[in-house]
Structure 1
Amino acid sequence: MECTIKDISINYEIIGDGKPIVMLHGYFVDHRLMSASMEPIFKNEDNYKRIYIDLPGMGRSQAKSWITNADIMLDILIEFIDEVIPNENFLLAGESYGGYLSRGLIYKMPNRIDGALLICPVIIAEGKDRNVSNHVVLVEDKDLLSKLTSKDAEDFASMAVVQNEKIYKRYKEEIISGVKLADSKFLKNFQKHGYEFSFNEAMVNEEFNKPTLMLLGRQDSCVGYKDAWNVLEKYPRATFAILDMAGHNLQIEQEDLFNSLVSEWLERVNKS
C-alpha cells in the first residue's frame, strides 16, 4: 500500500483487523524487521490491525531533501497516522530508531496511544554519548562463518552475540534485505545532521501511564541498556527486561522470550 504525505510516497502494509498497532522499524532496514518478529505472535490473535510502515528513505518509501531532521520525520509519521487511522487510538511498537521515534510520538500525542513496546530503543541519539559495552560473542559458530564470504562473515560477527544458522538466516532475510533497499546517501546525511529531536530528550511531558514493555539486550553494543534506566520512571506501567545472550537484534537471538514477553504485554493492554 502507499500513502502520500506532501510529495513523498510512504510504503506500508496492513495485516488483520481490530485495534491498530503502528510498527516502526530501526535505521537502514525496512518494515520486514518488524513484521517477521511480530506476526508469529498474532497467529492466535484476530483482533489487531498491524500497520507496518517503511520509514522515509528506507524500504520502498521515498526520501526527499526537505526531510532534514527528526522533528520533520516525526511530523510525517503523525500525518501518516492521521491519514491511515484518523481519530483512532492505537498501540505503538518501535525498534531501535523506531523506538526513538515512538518516544517522540508519545511526547506529541500521548492521549491516542494506549500502550507501547520499545525494543532496543535509542535513548541517546548521539552514538558517542551512549553508555554501551564493547561487542562480545557468547556463542560462536566458526563452521557457519567459514561458509560465508569474508564481508558477510565480518558484518554478521560484528553484530551477532549468538551465532548459528537460524539466526543468520533471519538476519539476512529480515535485516540485510532491507538495508539493500535503503537510500544510503540520504540516511548517512540525515544521521550526521538531523538524527536527534530538537525537544527534551526525556520526551515525555508527563508520565506515560499506559502498559509498556521495554526490551533491552544485555550485550547490546549499539544502544546498550544502561541509558534506558534514566527514562524508566516516566513509564510507571512498564515492564523493563534486560535479556542475557542478546545484542541489538534481540528479537532474533532471544525469539522465544521475546514472543512470551510481547504476548504478556498484549494481555496487559487488553486488561487495561
Structure 2
Amino acid sequence: MIAREIGSGRPLVALHGFGVDHRIMLPLAEWIGDAPWRLVLLDLPWAESAARGATVSSTREVAHGVLAEIDDHLGDEPFAVIGNSYGAMLARHVAHERRPRVRGLATLAGVFRPAHHERSVPERTVVHVESPVLDAAGDAREAFEEISVIQDAASFAAFQRYVLPGLRGADTTVMDRIAADYAIDGVPEERYPEPFTAPTLHVFGRQDDVVGYEDGLALREHYPRGSFVVLDGAGHNVHLEQPDVTGALFREWLARMDR
C-alpha cells in the first residue's frame, strides 16, 4: 500500500480520501520543502496501484491494513499522520491506536461522522465560476463541478493533476464493498477519551457540503494543542482551492511538531 516516499527525515504518513489515490496528497511534498520530514504516501485498496486482488469489504479492514502497513514500514519509529476526507477518519484512528509513537495529527476536510445523514453540512454553494474553464473541461466537467466551489483555471488545473487520475483509476467494485460498511467501530475520541496532546491541525472548507465543519469543531476540546481553521471560498477540496493558506497552516503545524 506504500505508493511513494518523498524526501528525508521524520516520517509523515499521508492517507487520501475515498475514490481518489495518493496523488491528491502530493501538494504536501511541495509544502514540506526543505523541512526535515519525509512524506510516506499510501494508496488505499480501491486505488489503481492497490486494487488488483483487493478483497477488503469494510473500513475496519482498511484501517487494520493501514496500521499493519505503518508498523511494517516504520517499525518503532515515531511518525506524524495526515488524512484527507475518508483518510482523515483513518488518520484519527491511527493517531489514537498508536498514540505513544505519534508526533502529531492533521486532517483536511475530514470525515468526523461516517453516516452522511448524520453530518451537519451547509447547503451547496458555488462561490466563483469561470464559464470558459467549464466549457473547456470536456469529460472532466461533471466531476469537477460536482465537488468544486471555486471553479476557475487554477482550481481546475489542480483537479486535473491531483484528483482526476485517481478518480479514473479507482476500482468501483472495491469501493462499493467498503461503502456498504463505511464506519470504523467506535469514534476514536470516544474510545480513547483522554485528550490528545500532540500538535494537531484540522482544516475545513466553509462551503464543504460533503462533510461540513461543525462535526469536527465539536471535538476541539479533545485536542488541546489543536488548530481548527474554517476557510471561506473552499469546499471538500479545501487544500486545492485554498493552497496558499492551507500550505502555510501545514508548515506551521510541522514547526509546532519540530519544537
The alpha carbon displacement at 1:221 in A equals 0.7
The residue number in structure 2 matching 1:4 is none
TM-score between both structures, scaled by the size of structure 2 = 0.95
Residue equivalent to 2:210: 222
RMSD over aligned Cα atoms: 1.5
1:53 aligns with 2:33: no
Which residue is 2:241 aligned to? 253
From 3, 12, 34, the equivalent of 1:12 is 3
CA distance in 1, matches of 2:55, 2:19: 18
Instruction: Determine the structure 1 residue equivalent to 2:110.
Output: 121
Quick one: which of 178, 187, 207 aligns to 1:190? Answer: 178
Q: 1:146-179 CA distances to partner (integer Å, 9 max, x unpaired)?
A: 2233x53232122111111121011012111111
Q: Aligned residue for 1:7?
A: none
SS in 2 for 1:256: helix
Q: Does 2:10 match 1:22? A: no
Contact 1:11 1:60 in 2 (8 A): no
Alignment deviations for residues 197-229 of structure 1 (CA, whole Å, 9 cap, x no partner): 122363551211000000000000110001112
Q: Tell me if the contact between 1:116 and 1:213 (Cα under 8 Å) persists in the aligned partners.
A: yes
In the other structure, the counterpart of 2:93 is: 104
Aligned residues of 1:11 and 1:61 also touching (Cα < 8 A): no
Alpha carbons 1:135, 1:159 under 8 Å: kept: no
- Equivalent-residue separation in structure 1 for 2:124 and 2:52 (angstroms): 32
Unaligned runs of 5+ in 2: none
Residue 229 of structure 2 aligns with an amino acid whose one-letter code is A
Is contact 1:27–1:98 with CA below 8 Å preserved after alignment? yes
In 2, Cα distance between the equivalents of 1:93 and 1:59? Answer: 21
From 197, 216, 219, give the equivalent of 1:209. 197
Summarize the Cα distance change of 1:65–1:48 in structure 2 as closer, same or farther, 3 Å threshold. Answer: closer
- State the distance in 1 between where 2:190 and 2:241 align: 29
CA contact (8 A) 2:5 2:38 kept: yes
Q: Which residue of 2 aligns with 1:159?
A: 147
Q: Is the Cα contact below 8 Å between 1:107 and 1:203 reproduced in 2? A: no
What one-letter code is carried by the residue in structure 2 that aligns with 1:40?
A: E
Distance 2:55 2:173 in 1: 14
Query: Of residues 136, 140, 144 in structure 1, which corresponds to 2:133?
Result: 144
Q: Quick check: 1:63–1:186 contact (8 Å CA) kept in 2?
A: no
Determine if the alignment matches structure 1 residue 264 to structure 2 residue 247.
no
Candidates 21, 27, 31, aligned match of 1:41 = 31
Which is further off, 228-237 or 198-207? 198-207
The residue that corresponds to 1:82 in the other structure is: 71
CA distance in 1, matches of 2:31, 2:39: 11
What is the distance in 2 between the residues matched to 1:204 and 1:237?
19
In the comparison of the two structures, how many residue pairs are matched?
258
Residue 38 of structure 1 and its aligned partner are, at CA, apart by 0.4
CA contact (8 A) 1:15 1:49 kept: yes
Amino acid at match of 1:202: E
Distance 2:156 2:12 in 1: 28
In structure 2, relative to structure 1, the CA distance for the partners of 1:179 and 1:197 (3 Å cut) is same
Structure 1 stretches of 4+ with a deviation exceeding 4 A read 63-66
